[in-house]
Structure 1
Amino acid sequence: MIGSPLRIHQAVPADLDAVVALHTEARATYYRGHLPDEAFAGPGELARSRAGWAAAIDAGRVLGARDTAGELLGIAAYGERDGVMTLSQLHVAPARWRGGVGTALHTACVDAWRAAGVSTARLEVFEPNLRARAFYAARGWLPDPDTPRDGDHLVLRLTLAPEAAAE
């Protein structure tokens, strides 16, 4: 478990280096052995990744999770794609797995979606990434009945129940 409380925040441009480093480290854990290193850690991919994160941060679509010491422990990015809210990234520093960081980020995303009136969200998860698949299944994500896969990724959907009305 996390030794100190988390602070979920909107990422800002000054977070870019830490976001890219965390993303690169996390992706290597599940792609290594399944894809050539060049596909997730080569110079071209790193440049593409950095540009993508910079654009997402500038658009206000990235949440970060920091501990009280200020260390970036996790990141999530989401936005509308093809008319559907899409969780495009959710990564936790591997040393912090199973400590509640991913759950806190996921909850923050779902809360933001509900506040925006979103009823359905989607994501793609690398099929061999059993740890991530179990994480999402435990939070109610199910195979997308319309598009169950995209290449080597499974497509999952989450139906958001409306928040209970305050009494």
Structure 2
Amino acid sequence: MDTPVMIRQVTLVDVDGIVEVHTQARTAYYIAGGLNADDLADPAQTQRRHDGWARAIHSPDRVVKCATQDGKIVGILSMGRPNSPTIEARKVGQLYQIHVIPSHWGNGIGARLHTSFIDYLTDSSLPTGLLEVWERNIRAQSFYNRLGWKPDGDRRPGPASSDYVFLRLAAPAAVAPTYTTEPSPASPVAGRGVAAEALRRRGIPVFPHYDLDRAAAALAEQERQHGNG
């Protein structure tokens, strides 16, 4: 039986293992996309990846996790605030990288790392995920398409005259429930009646699926920002 794969937070001790997975994965998909292997074997690029991952681990705006099996790093995930200042960080979380070592492709490791990203969006109350993928990386595009990601129309130049295309995903928590009939207003719950009443005073119906405390707090913050609080 295969040893279980574990997902955990990384530390600086993991940088060499992270770079190894990243290097092997990117080499595989760039070669599959038509790039020359010799062009990808630049030691300076490896050092830049090492420095980049160390910065990501230190950054308060990034979350970096890894998948391990038998004590070896076999997959990596980097996510956090959007890289572009034009994207609203209160609404979007960016999936920077998911890489799995090629020898472990097809074992569900990428899907588990992607689930960690979805958990990040949910825990951060972010309704939208954003990522970019090289347009010749057909394997990755197929992977993200199966998980519900859609092109948003933006792109930027990439290697071999092929662009990186941007994809977006609606986080599950942001998808509104669908009802066949109008739901009945919820009765105030002990300990949460004040929050429910605050919403009703503003003409907002209270349904059973509401997180009353979070909804009332969000409304108060919105009113404060507009000078109405």
Same topology, TM > 0.5: yes
Q: How does 1:3-22 map to 2 (within 5 A)?
A: 3-22=2-21
How much does 1:41 deviate?
Answer: 3.2
Amino acid at match of 1:134: S
Identity fraction in percent:
37
Partners in 2 of 1:56 and 1:19 — Cα distance? 12
- Cα contact 1:38–1:45 (8 A) shared by 2: no
Q: Which residue of 2 aligns with 1:56?
A: 56
Q: Deviations over 1:54-87 (max 9, x none)?
A: 11122352110112x2121100101112333211
Partners in 1 of 2:152 and 2:29 — Cα distance? 22
How much does 1:40 deviate?
Answer: 3.9
Q: How does 1:136-155 map to 2 (within 5 A)?
A: 136-145=144-153, 147=154, 149-151=155-157, 152-155=163-166
How much does 1:161 deviate?
Answer: 2.2
Q: Deviations over 1:93-151 (max 9, x none)?
A: 10100101000100011111111111111111111111111100000100014x2x222
Partners in 2 of 1:31 and 1:70 — Cα distance? 28
> Which has the larger displacement, 28-37 or 77-86?
28-37
How much does 1:44 deviate?
Answer: 2.4
Match of 2:137 among 122, 129, 137: 129
How much does 1:10 deviate?
Answer: 0.5
RMSD: 2.1
Instruction: Give the structure with the higher percent strand.
Output: 1
Q: What secondary structure sits across from 1:162 in the alignment?
A: helix
Q: What secondary structure sits across from 1:34 in the alignment?
A: coil
Structure 2: tracts of 5 or more residues without a match: 158-162, 178-208, 211-229
Amino acid at match of 2:57: I
State whether structure 2 residue 115 is matched by structure 1 residue 107.
yes
How much does 1:47 deviate?
Answer: 1.7
Q: Which residue of 1 aligns with 2:189?
A: none
Structure 1: tracts of 5 or more residues without a match: none
Determine which structure has greater relative contact order: mean sequence separation of CA pairs < 8 Å that are 6+ residues apart, divided by chain length: 1
Amino acid at match of 1:74: G
How much does 1:36 deviate?
Answer: 4.6
TM-score, normalization by structure 1: 0.88
Distance 1:12 1:130, change over 3 A: same
Q: How does 1:82-93 map to 2 (within 5 A)?
A: 82=84, 83=89, 84-93=92-101
Amino acid at match of 2:134: F
Amino acid at match of 1:125: V
Q: What secondary structure sits across from 1:156 in the alignment?
A: strand
